[in-house]
Structure 1
Amino acid sequence: MVKVVLWFFFILPWISLFLLNNSVIRRYIPVALFATVVNTIMYQIAWAYDSWKYNETLFWWDNVAQIHAVNGVFGVGTIWIFYFTFRKFWIYLVVNLIVDCIYSFGFRALWKKLKITTGYGNLSPLEAILIMTIMAIIFYVYQMWQEGLIGRENENSVKRVT
Structure 2
Amino acid sequence: MKPGYSLIQIVLHWLVAALVLVQYQTGGSIGRTHDAVHAGLQPDPTDLLLHSVHNWSGMAIGGLMVLRLFLRWRSHGIVPDLKRESPTAAAARLLHLGFYAVLLGQAAIGFIASYVTFSIAPLHVFGANLILAMLVLHIGAAIIHAVMRDSVLIRILRPRG
Higher relative contact order (CA 8 A, sep 6+): 2
The question of a shared fold, defined as TM-score above 0.5 by the shorter chain, is answered with no
Give the TM-score, by structure 2 length. Answer: 0.28
Larger proportion of helix: 2
